[in-house]
Chains A and B, each alone.
Chain A
Amino acid sequence: MANTYRGLGKIGLQDEEEFVDILEDKRHCSDLSFAFRTFSPPPHKGAAPCSAAELNKAVLESQYLRYVIQEVAVETGSSVEEVRGEVRRTLGEMSQNLQLRFIRLMAFTFRKVFKRLFSAIYVNVEGLNALQQAAQEGPVILMPNHRSYVDFLVVSYIMFSYDIPLPVIAAGIPLAGMKIVGEILRGSGAFFIRRAIGSDKLYWAVLSEYVRTIVRKGFAPLEFFVEGLRSRTLKSLPPKLGMMHMILEPFFKGEVFDVTLLPISISYDRVLEESLLAHELLGVPKPRESTAGLLKASKVLQENYGCMHVNFGRPLSVRRLCEGKINRCQYNHMPRDLPQKPNAEAQACGSWLAHLMVRVQEEGSLTSPWSLMACVLLQVPTAALTEEGLLFHQLTEQTLWLRKLALDFGAHLSWPGGCAMEKASDPDVMSSAVALHRSVVYRKAGRVYLLLADEPERKHPPSPEEDTMRTAAAVLMLASYRNQSLHVFVRPALLALAMSVTKSTQRDELLTCFCFLQDVFGNEFIFIPGRSSEDFEEACSLLKKCKALHVSQREVTVSDAGPEVLPFLQELLRPFVDSYQLMFRFLCEESDCVFTEKEFLPAVRAFATKLVVSGELPTYEALSSDVQKNVLSALLRLGAVTKIKTSENNQYKVNKTAVRRTGDMLAGRIPPQITQAAPDARL
């Protein structure tokens, strides 16, 4: 497992790709005639078309479900017919009903909406061509990242425009609950998955057989979000593995020759849900998905959201990727239809692939000027940013410096004026970025300020806590745009952090610390399991490339550009380090060693707010529920916190010494030790 991911460089984005604006070449034809265009994807070489009803029938009659139904009937004491009825209902709730007429409706609506929302939707045609090729050969899995509700059907829309077979899409069940819209989504190919499946064996069985049947039949590409959810922070999320296994199993068991994974990176200049997401992170509940809500949200349609880039990665063959990682003979001894838990090898392989896909998605995403500006802006203390602002020309200068660094680190930029046609000067680029993001910042008298939301009318003056929340919302919005480009810097930044933590130049010490940091921040940033030393090497070589470090066999020392680059990178991770330390402190200071998740989040938020108000805590990001949850997961992984009850209310037990020790290691007070975290094998 150690030597994984051959040719990382080759897998991701091909060098500079040409992007075309799909709105541009369609602007001159009417929405209606676009929606009624002849849709003629090239025929699949092996797979026959399969209607929704045929698919459901195949699932229902599968040997696998027959086994499971039998089992469940025995376990629950109900009759086989009853269980079958249950399965039928579940399938009804789940199943897609892909029909071209719905796609046409969707295409019509989307085109109207997209033209209003976005100035351009760029796609890389080469990637699409490769996809079209792959779609004729065998089952294709489309794996976009998930940053906005818009992601959901944009891929189908592009497929429709380019004569590529339309995908069936895994969606969360709340969407199905929307009146009419739910049915339209179904007709557009969505199938719906319940959120908390837990240990519902029958549901798992139906879902997995449904997914496997789609893969086996290969009549349509399957689209799913490997991160499982929309990322509230615009950072990548740790991949969910259940779906990944369902997709891999038909290959492992030889039911298909190969499965093609197609990573898709969707990057937004500006995300529709930006403010909603920030508030959600601060504990304001997400509005339920409803048609009424959707209509109400139509006011977001009044605004401009800049460009959207949809970058189709190169098709990846699961067969090639898994070479030497999986022994397919293990399925020779039992009927393949028998319910069987994937063994450790298969799980590790799935986890590795899922993480790999997230990494490839990251590599394929485009970094906007605004995202780099956000990185720069967040290095200014928040109070200063709201009160005094940052000189615009300073912002420009630093952003350009960062742009160079990002390019050194191999980032793909969506810098307007990349092509000669629309040559724009750099200050213009940044002015327009500020203008586009007037919901976050404003410019006044040559300075750029963080914009706080309007105060609601109220009788008494706002409390310091209320003020904090207002600022936090603005900071989190800004932070989410910084997060869009964090993957570019994270490995070098971790090394820079390791250097400041250990105060050492010894390579092996730094590696140990680097691994420790990867471990601690394992939920914050996504690393491919078992690749720490490669990640370390990568960090070294990138920092060497930008002349920040000298790297020798034994030592890593600061070089010319180091004093500029390293503090910047350390500062980039500061909010995370501070937030983690705060949470560690909170857990150690709590008198009670046992708490539930429900109690934990508000308590820690109150604690953080207090410290922010008092000026003790410099970062507002500690208020984000995302960081709070990540700390908890990290501590669970490191064994400093243990779960004691797994029914409805999760209870946690803190090992204060261990938490304190982790904090001390993170602060460099004691040398880090690698706690051998078991390979992530959640399903």
Chain B
Amino acid sequence: MASNSSGDSSSRHQTARHRLSVIAGHLQRPADSNAAVLAVECKAQGTTPNIRTGVRSEGRTVPRRRQEIMKWNGWGYSDSRFLFNKKGQAEFTGKRYRLSGMIIPGLKDWLESTFGASLQHKAPATPILNSSAVQPPTVNEAFVEELRSTGVPFSHEAEDRVFRSHGHCLHEIFALREGKIGRIPDMVVWPNCHNDVVKIVELACKHNVCLIPYGGGTSVSSALECPPEETRSIVSLDTSQMNRILWIDEKNLTARVESGIVGQDLERLLNESGYCTGHEPDSMEFSSLGGWVATRASGMKKNIYGNIEDLVVHIKTVTPRGVIEKSCQGPRMSTGPDIHHFIMGSEGTLGVVTEVTIKIRPMPEYQKYGSVVFPNFEQGVACLREVAKQRCAPASIRLMDNEQFKFGHALKPQVSSIFTSFLDGLKKFYITKFKGFDPNHLCVATLLFEGDREKVLQHEKQVYDIAAKFGGLAAGEDNGQRGYIMTFVIAYLRDLGMDYYVIGESFETSVPWDRVLDICRNVKARIVRECKDKGVQFPPLSTCRVTQTYDAGACVYFYFAFNYRGLSDPVHVYEQVEHAAREEVLANGGSLSHHHGVGKLRKEWMRETVSTVGMGMLQSVKDYVDPNNIFGNRNLL
């Protein structure tokens, strides 16, 4: 290895290029797989009438020009957002979500009482992108020239570049809202298939251009941030147009999919054939298959379907050294360290994932939501631990703490019938007065069962029986379902908060069972103390939930937010608190990340996380695969 890396770089380049071209030659043939694609695409086209025309004609969600449907300085679709209407009531706009068009009466009070925010104090965002604030692109003429000849579409437009310069960390969005734009990609390219990627990577190597792969843009680890010190031309490689299902293998229950497909499209298209992957991260509307692989994503229903590492059967990745893939689709191999694990979690530092074979399952016959109220968080955790011990976790089981329970309440849409509100009141009376639960301590677990009807009902009973042992009371399907719907709109809520001086974010960790309660308490308390120490004028929201269970531990999600009025540099304060919170997580035996990844945000803790030798191993892989740091996003290492 050492002799390799010190070898003559130009000869190495040549061999790499040669190999790339050989591989590319192989890939131009496959006529039969095209047929499979067509078959699938026919099906997809059959559904187009249901999909509105703003979306690409094939029925895919993400157009090349993301700005056509998405916000440039906030989360999600342009047409969907929270706002306070003229009556001062919170409302969610658009038509896409179940909450769309509804009034949320409790939100204003919650926002005001939780954060001390006020509708009078607004911190509006810069409405449109000011192109003059964007640095002109550093163009590598030779690269552009050759790229043009390949026919791969690209753009130098400011809007396109800004869109691909960030993920959704608080500091990134905050800067955009203020109209501040730092180092951004100089150019965006949209490959249409694996071969396009091979060509782009080849050219990037040839002309020493920095490539940053871009999938769904939902990163929360500063992974998409362009390193300010990068002097080369930075090209954002947007995979969003590589979004086809190439084939479905019904005998082995796998599907070959291009990496740029976003979660919602993948599920929808598979559903049309009666299948699903069951991989549902909270970001699944926008995050892409390639992104999942590159960050070791985890889905809400991993208890049935597994995390991304359990789902993936085969990965094809284009690196500066050539294409890396396994020779077969065997379900498990003993062939040395699994090369997939170099790719999974590589966060765009080694190459671009282009195609993935992923396991599929027949769509579940029956789905049922549920919820359980516990007198306190301790009992709730004990119940989840028991469920994990008995290995009977439903597709999803999540435990929210008291603050989140209250938050969930605040997000209840207006109920139309008096009967429903009466029923709600009755439930509340039963739980707090009759059962003696303290409304300031109780917490709720939301459940999702999947499978055939009989088994689901049986399973449900088993779980509720366990819950009862820990003082849990079944609290209905509605509460459960609402919990999961909220998952998708919560991200929109941050934008509303930011309109009113409230900033916040979530972060996650995984931790052994015996540490769960301690880490939750300590991290939450640390956040509160740090905010106070750093001069935050209002008590912060500091809350958590247990979102996944494993045999030996759990995944814990923290949310924290505060009202930053009176602070001169709120983002800095925010970052200090987040940093302290992460230190606290690590000191309490939590991992650096369960599924968000490391990016640049958590890089400083990598060495202590994986040990110096571990870092060396990762570094030597990087040095071999990408000696000239073409994939120069500087994540991870």
A residues adjacent to B (C-beta < 8 A): 46, 254-255, 257-258, 327-329, 331-332, 335-337
Contact = CB atoms under 8 A, between A and B. Distances in A.
Given A254-B522, A257-B522, A257-B526, A328 B587 contact: yes
Contacts of A328: 587-588
Given A332-B589, A336-B514, A254 B526 contact: no
Contact of A335 (B514, B526, B608): B514
Interface in B312-364: none
Contacts of B515: 254
Interface in B569-589: 586-589
Given A254-B519, A336-B514, 20 more contacts: A46-B521, A254-B515, A254-B518, A254-B522, A254-B587, A254-B588, A254-B589, A255-B518, A257-B521, A257-B522, A258-B525, A327-B587, A328-B587, A328-B588, A329-B586, A329-B589, A329-B608, A332-B589, A335-B514, A337-B514
19 contacts: A46-B521, A254-B519, A254-B522, A254-B588, A254-B589, A255-B518, A257-B522, A257-B525, A257-B526, A328-B587, A328-B588, A329-B587, A329-B589, A329-B608, A331-B589, A332-B589, A335-B514, A336-B514, A337-B514
4 closest cross-chain pairs (CB), A and B: A328-B587, A257-B525, A254-B588, A332-B589
Contacts of B586: 329
A335 B588 CA distance: 12
Contacts of A254: 515, 518-519, 522, 587-589
Contacts of B514: 335-337
Interface in B490-532: 514-515, 518-519, 521-522, 525-526
B515 to A, nearest CB: 7
Nearest to A138: B525
A254 B589 CA distance: 9
Main secondary structure of the interface of B (DSSP, over half): helix
A329 B589 CA distance: 6
A183 B604 CA distance: 57
Interface of B: 514-515, 518-519, 521-522, 525-526, 586-589, 608
Contacts of A337: 514
A355 to B, nearest CB: 24
Q: Dominant SS at the A interface?
A: loop
B346 to A, nearest CB: 25
Contacts of A335: 514
Nearest to A137: B525
Among B514, B515, B586, B587: residue with most chain A CB under 10 A = B587
Nearest to A333: B589
A333 B596 CA distance: 23
Nearest to B519: A254
A257 B515 CA distance: 13
A234 B515 CA distance: 44
A336 B513 CA distance: 12
A258 B521 CA distance: 11
Contacts of B518: 254-255
A560 B587 CA distance: 55
A338 to B, nearest CB: 11
A479 B586 CA distance: 52
B340 to A, nearest CB: 27
Contacts of A258: 525
Contacts of B525: 257-258
Contacts of B521: 46, 257
A336 B586 CA distance: 15
A237 B636 CA distance: 52
A331 B521 CA distance: 17
A90 B608 CA distance: 42
A327 B586 CA distance: 10
Nearest to A328: B587
Nearest to A216: B518
Contacts of B608: 329
Nearest to B517: A255
Contacts of A329: 586-587, 589, 608
Nearest to A250: B518
Q: Which of A257, A327, A328 has the most CB of B within 10 A?
A: A257
A327 B525 CA distance: 19
A336 B587 CA distance: 13
Nearest to B522: A257
Nearest to A257: B525
Nearest to B378: A48
Contacts of B519: 254
A258 B526 CA distance: 10
A489 B406 CA distance: 58
A49 to B, nearest CB: 14
A255 B588 CA distance: 9
Nearest to B591: A332
Nearest to A335: B514
A121 B589 CA distance: 47
A127 B589 CA distance: 36
Contacts of A327: 587
A215 to B, nearest CB: 13
A221 to B, nearest CB: 19
B320 to A, nearest CB: 36
A174 B256 CA distance: 78
A327 B522 CA distance: 16
B222 to A, nearest CB: 24
A254 B521 CA distance: 9
A328 to B, nearest CB: 4
Nearest to A255: B518
Contacts of B587: 254, 327-329
A680 to B, nearest CB: 26
Contacts of B526: 257
A337 B513 CA distance: 13
A255 B518 CA distance: 6
Nearest to A317: B529
A162 B145 CA distance: 83
Nearest to B590: A332
A133 to B, nearest CB: 14
A46 B514 CA distance: 19
Nearest to B609: A329
B512 to A, nearest CB: 9
A332 B525 CA distance: 20
A534 B630 CA distance: 53
Nearest to A336: B514
A102 B89 CA distance: 57
Nearest to B588: A254
A329 B582 CA distance: 12
Nearest to A332: B589
A319 to B, nearest CB: 8
A683 B518 CA distance: 27
A257 B526 CA distance: 8
A331 B587 CA distance: 8
A331 to B, nearest CB: 7
A619 B541 CA distance: 66
A131 B608 CA distance: 38
Nearest to B589: A332
A145 to B, nearest CB: 29
A336 B526 CA distance: 21
A586 B587 CA distance: 53
A507 B514 CA distance: 55
A254 B519 CA distance: 7
Nearest to A337: B514
A27 B190 CA distance: 88
A258 B586 CA distance: 16
Q: Which of B514, B518, B526, B586 has the largest count of A CB atoms less than 10 A from its CB? A: B518
A599 B519 CA distance: 55
A335 B589 CA distance: 11
A18 to B, nearest CB: 27
A618 B430 CA distance: 83
Contacts of B588: 254, 328
A254 B526 CA distance: 12
A506 B515 CA distance: 56
A329 B525 CA distance: 18
A5 B186 CA distance: 51
Nearest to A327: B587
A235 B515 CA distance: 43
